[in-house]
């Protein structure tokens, strides 16, 4: 399916759960926060929430700053 991840076009070929996407991107589930179409997802929902074609996904991590 075609997604927009962090503002860029992205083609996902997996099982379409958030957890799959994170694995594909080599992002650690425990260290990444996810927004889908503007909604912040709760930790623990990554294995169950399914993506759809055209979804906008943001992958957010902690960085130095603030």
Residue 4 touching other proteins (CB under 8 A): no
Residue 6: partners with Cβ closer than 8 Å, 6 or more residues away: 57, 58, 59
* Residue list 7-46, contact with other proteins (CB under 8 A): 7, 10, 24-27, 31-35, 38, 40-43
Q: Name the phi and psi angles at 53, rounded to 5.
A: -55, 130
Contact with other proteins (CB under 8 A) among 1, 2, 6, 54? 6
Q: Which residues pair with 43 in a beta bridge?
A: none
**For other proteins, how many residues bind (rule: CB under 8 A)?**
27
């Amino acid at each position: 399916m075609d997604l927009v991840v962090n503002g860029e076009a992205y083609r996902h070929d997996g099982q379409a759960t958030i957890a799959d996407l994170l694995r594909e991107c080599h992002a650690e589930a425990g260290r990444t926060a996810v927004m889908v179409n503007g909604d912040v997802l709760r930790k623990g929902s990554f294995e169950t929430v399914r993506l759809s074609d055209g979804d906008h996904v943001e992958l957010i991590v902690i960085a130095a700053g603030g």
